[in-house]
Amino acid sequence: MSNGINGHSAARPRSEKESATKTPGAMLTPNSFEDAQILAAMDKLRELGVDRKYPLPQIIVCGSQSAGKSSVLESLVQVPFPRGEKTCTRYVTKVTILPAATIAVEVRIQPSLDRPPAEAATLVDFYRKDDSGDYAANLARFMDEAHRLIIPSPSRTTANRDQPMIAQDILLITVYGPDTRPLQVLDLPGLITFDQQAQGNERVIESMVTRYMAEKQSIILAVIKATEDLNNQQVLKLCKACDPEGKRTLGIITRPDVAETAQRRNLIAVMQGRDKDFKFHHRWHILRNRSADEANVSQEARDNTEKTLLDGPLWNVIDRSCRGISELRERLRELLFGVAKRELPWLRRTFREKLGQLLDEFEALGGKELAPEQLAKAMQQCLSRLRDASRDHARAVYESDIRNSPYNSAVYLRSRVAKRSALFREKLFATGHAWTTLIRPEPQDPGSSDNYPRDPESGSLDDDDADLGPAEAKIRVPTSLQAEIDEVAQMLEQTQGQTLPGTFDPRRIANLYWRMSEGWDAIAREHVEQIYRCCRLYFRDITVVAFQRGPGPRSLGFSNAQEVAQRFVGPHIVPRLDKCRENALEELAKLDEDRRDAPINADRRFLDDWLSFREEREFIRAMKARHAQDAAAAGGIAGAGVAGGVQTPPADLDKTTYARRAGLHSQREWTEATAREYLRAMWSHYCIDRDIYLANVLRQAVERHFLRHIADIVPRQLTPEEIAKLTRADGAKEARRREVELEMDVLRKSLSALEDIQ
């Protein structure tokens, strides 16, 4: 491997003529109004820096190692690059010619993406510029310095095979000069078929060359040395793959002066199109570059030598337009204009699509920055929309602003609260009592799980919206009614107070009721927590909707509504919701305090149920005594008679006998009868009071403290400082927003420049 500068050796001595300042050449001279339009558009695009992100028409020089690619590049742009024999290109060299008042050269390095950060920073920092008359010699020195950074010389302790052969970095050379047109030419690494270092460099080079060839804006100069067999040229195979029609490819034959006679005849046949195997869309071109012995020869002398050779015998049979560097520049000019006419409209479509994408991203990042008074006006309108929405949604009035929300979404606030309330009712009925009494079975609850799912928000709630209540207690079921009565009777006996023997304090009914209903408070608190989360999730979602910019021209809002809403809900909504929950829980504490007070029941249902129970009880007792009497009569005991038209009791039936036969004679029997009465009274009061408690929880805790005045949770206005804090741009996002805004501006100007290109 040679130590040349990416295919160039040290600076050669320059002739006296060449030492004078000379303007770099340019090929893009318009021949028509249409060409002038294209040139003006391309000049504008490069002025805007579009070529740094989007490929514009360019020339790429590719071929095998030592095919003369770098010499072709030098002859094209007329910049005296240092060069030498037996050297190879080891990275891409991009040469850009730009118009300027005076001649100058700049050299930079564009590091590859796989460079370590420290190395990439060193390469990016490299910058050399010279605008003196001796810019060519300085250019050679600049290129040598850049080369040593891109491919450092191996140390004595480093094996030669560890030295990288190919680098993915790009050497950027910009040449400025008067009377020039913008032009970009790339010198690519030479293709090889064998890597003696066995590092796979042949595949790396092929991939790099193919990538540039595939760009539809690239004009491919396939450089082949005259002494090489065309059948063995890998570059031709790649050209066929990347440009099947050959409309962007131009074959270049170099070093015709060293070809043997038979080779010359074969090449002439190819160039005249008589060899069908190598016949392409564009005719081949032939050049004579400087040899290694001609390092001191000027560009002008080089052109004269070339003209003498190609205008002489044998080569002069080739069409004049396919011979020499001057003709090549003209052909490339036509090719460049042809590619521009074909690709610039495509580039315009690409710009429009990209502009649409950037507009969406720009809006998502916050859109155009608003003045403080505009921000205040937008925030005021958003808060007003949020208050109106929360008030309406709490009343189940849903408008089109939530039309795209799924039906189980948190924005359907009243629907979610109604479902939670149904679950609360079901849970209170199913698990609110301490045990299942058998004194009077309840009818089927119409709000049971037969009609409502256990979790109506299944799949729609956040992970933090799980069931926060206590685990459902296992409801105890007595083995029989008698067992339940015995248990209550035992309680009466064990809690006997100052009442007379054989009597019991009716306040024991309250003891039963308190024990039976002690689970209500936990279930109600769980319900309040669920309502709190419904409201919190509601504001999380609806605030984004309210803060969005509406479709109308007068509808203000924020393009980054998601971000502003997230910042708003935490400090401005959640603390107020927390206060609502605190007040609701205090309300529940008052309701539970009322529950633990002495039972008060003026409900007509209780009186009706108690009357029905007494009638039923007396009837059962009378029937029991009658059946006992009938059984005694059947056993031979004298029965009742009629005296003076009045029914008289049997001779052996008195109050004691009746009490004994009715089951009210012993103390134990009276205790059980009282236990039955108290149990029935307790359960009747429990069922009625449960309905009242349910209504009070829904009305006094949920409606009063959450939904009735939910719009008041939304602040009516914010201070300028608060608005600025909510709408401030994130550092990274703000930087990206500005980048997007600048890129959109460039694209708009680029589209304007391309507007007249058909």
| Residue-wise pLDDT tens digits, 510-529 | 888 898 899 999 999 999 99
CA-angle at 664, arms to 660 and 667, nearest 5°: 105
- When the pLDDT of each residue in the chain is averaged and rounded to a whole number, the result is 80
Minimum mean pLDDT among 305-309, 394-398, 404-408, 651-655: which range?
651-655
Return the half-sphere exposure (C-beta side, CA atoms, 13 A cut-off) of residue 726.
29
Tell whether 335 and 441 lie within a shared domain: no
Tell whether 192 and 54 lie within a shared domain: yes
> Which residues neighbour 233 within 8 Å (Cβ) at sequence distance 6 or greater?
63, 64, 222, 224
Residue 10's pLDDT is what? 47
Tokens 């069931």, residue located: 467
Q: Return contacts of 382-388, CB within 8 angstroms, 24+ apart.
A: 382/546, 382/547, 382/556, 382/557, 382/558, 383/546, 383/714, 383/715, 383/716, 383/717, 383/718, 385/546, 386/542, 386/543, 386/546, 386/547, 386/714, 387/711, 387/714, 387/716, 388/711
Confidence class for position 633, pLDDT limits 50, 70, 90: low
SS3 annotation, 482-533: HHHHHHHHHHHHHCCCCCCCCCCCCCHHHHHHHHHCCCHHHHHHHHHHHHHH
Measured distance CA(709)–CA(712) in Å, rounded:
6
Q: Kindly state the DSSP code that residue 250 receives in the 8-state scheme.
A: E
Which of the given ranges, 458-462, 537-541, 559-563, 682-686, has the highest pLDDT on average?
537-541
| Span 585-610, average pLDDT | 83
Q: Is 269 helix (H, G, I), strand (E, B) or coil?
A: helix
Within-domain flag for 124 = yes
247 neighbors 217 (Cβ within 8 angstroms): no
Residue 651's pLDDT is what? 52
Confidence class for position 13, pLDDT limits 50, 70, 90: very low
* Residue where a domain stops, chosen among 354, 383, 409: 354
Within-domain flag for 328 = yes
Tell whether 440 and 572 lie within a shared domain: yes
Measured distance CA(587)–CA(528) in Å, rounded:
10
Within-domain flag for 750 = no
pLDDT tens by residue, 412-458: 999 999 999 999 999 999 999 888 888 776 655 555 544 444 444 43
Token digits for 552?
């109308």
271 neighbors 283 (Cβ within 8 angstroms): yes
Measured distance CA(307)–CA(299) in Å, rounded:
12
Counting every residue written for the chain, the total comes to 758
Confidence class for position 355, pLDDT limits 50, 70, 90: very high
Tell whether 243 and 133 lie within a shared domain: yes
Q: Beta strand pairing status for 58-63 and 218-225?
A: parallel
Extended beta strands in 118-167, E state: 127-130
Question: Comparing C-alpha atoms, which of 365, 375, 369, 371 is closest to residue 740?
Answer: 365
Within-domain flag for 409 = yes
Tell whether 401 and 339 lie within a shared domain: no
Tell whether 301 and 379 lie within a shared domain: no
Question: Comparing C-alpha atoms, which of 582, 586, 544 is closest to residue 563?
Answer: 544
Q: Return contacts of 295-301, CB within 8 angstroms, 24+ apart.
A: 295/12, 295/13, 295/83, 295/84, 296/12, 296/13, 296/14, 296/15, 297/15, 298/14, 298/15, 298/17, 298/18, 299/18, 299/22, 299/75, 299/78, 299/80, 300/17, 300/18, 301/15
Percent of the chain surpassing pLDDT 90: 27
- Over 60: is that where the pLDDT of 471 sits? no
- Over 50: is that where the pLDDT of 186 sits? yes
- Report the CATH number that the domain containing residue 332 is assigned in CATH: 3.40.50.300
Measured distance CA(403)–CA(472) in Å, rounded:
37
pLDDT tens by residue, 706-740: 999 999 999 999 999 999 888 887 777 778 888 89
Residue 455's pLDDT is what? 47
Q: What is the CA radius of gyration of the chain?
A: 49
Confidence class for position 41, pLDDT limits 50, 70, 90: confident
pLDDT tens by residue, 384-419: 999 999 999 999 998 877 877 888 889 999 999 999
Q: Is 392 helix (H, G, I), strand (E, B) or coil?
A: helix
Return the biggest CA–CA distance within the chain.
168
* CA–centroid distance for 753 within its chain: 34
Q: Kindly state the DSSP code that residue 476 receives in the 8-state scheme.
A: B
Tell whether 287 and 394 lie within a shared domain: no
Tell whether 188 and 278 lie within a shared domain: yes
Residue 106's pLDDT is what? 92
> How many C-beta atoms lie closer than 10 Å to residue 486's C-beta?
16
pLDDT tens by residue, 251-284: 999 989 888 888 888 888 888 888 888 887 889 9
Within-domain flag for 289 = yes
With residue 613 as reference, give the H or E element that holds it: helix 604-634
Q: Beta strand pairing status for 92-99 and 170-177?
A: parallel
Minimum mean pLDDT among 325-329, 592-596, 644-648: which range?
644-648
Residue predicted with more confidence, 35 or 301: 301
- Over 50: is that where the pLDDT of 464 sits? no
Residue 86's pLDDT is what? 40
C-alpha distances out from residue 390 to 376, 383, 465, 564, Å: 21, 11, 20, 18
pLDDT tens by residue, 108-131: 999 988 899 999 999 999 999 998
Residue 733's pLDDT is what? 77
State phi, psi for 97 to the nearest 5 degrees.
-105, 130
Which of the given ranges, 344-358, 549-563, 578-592, has the highest pLDDT on average?
578-592
Within-domain flag for 625 = no
Confidence class for position 490, pLDDT limits 50, 70, 90: confident
Confidence class for position 23, pLDDT limits 50, 70, 90: low
Token digits for 564?
């502003």
Minimum mean pLDDT among 185-194, 292-301, 334-343: which range?
292-301
Confidence class for position 470, pLDDT limits 50, 70, 90: very low
Tell whether 398 and 299 lie within a shared domain: no
Which of the given ranges, 9-13, 19-23, 76-80, 511-515, has the highest pLDDT on average?
511-515
Tell whether 340 and 273 lie within a shared domain: yes
In the chain, the number of structural domains is 2
Tell whether 254 and 393 lie within a shared domain: no
What residue type is assigned to position 595 of the chain?
R
Tell whether 63 and 178 lie within a shared domain: yes
Residue 525's pLDDT is what? 96
pLDDT tens by residue, 81-106: 655 444 457 889 988 888 888 888 89
Within-domain flag for 429 = yes
Which of the given ranges, 62-71, 300-309, 572-581, 663-672, has the highest pLDDT on average?
572-581
Tokens 């799924």, residue located: 406
Measured distance CA(139)–CA(133) in Å, rounded:
11
Percent of the chain surpassing pLDDT 70: 77
Token digits for 302?
């080089």
Question: Domain limits at 438?
Answer: 373-475+493-600+696-728
What residue type is assigned to position 476 of the chain?
R
Token digits for 509?
């009914």
- Over 90: is that where the pLDDT of 602 sits? no
Tokens 């315009």, residue located: 348
Q: Beta strand pairing status for 285-286 and 641-643?
A: unpaired
Measured distance CA(283)–CA(67) in Å, rounded:
19
Confidence class for position 503, pLDDT limits 50, 70, 90: low
Within-domain flag for 208 = yes
Residue 502's pLDDT is what? 54
Question: Comparing C-alpha atoms, which of 396, 447, 400 is closest to residue 424?
Answer: 447
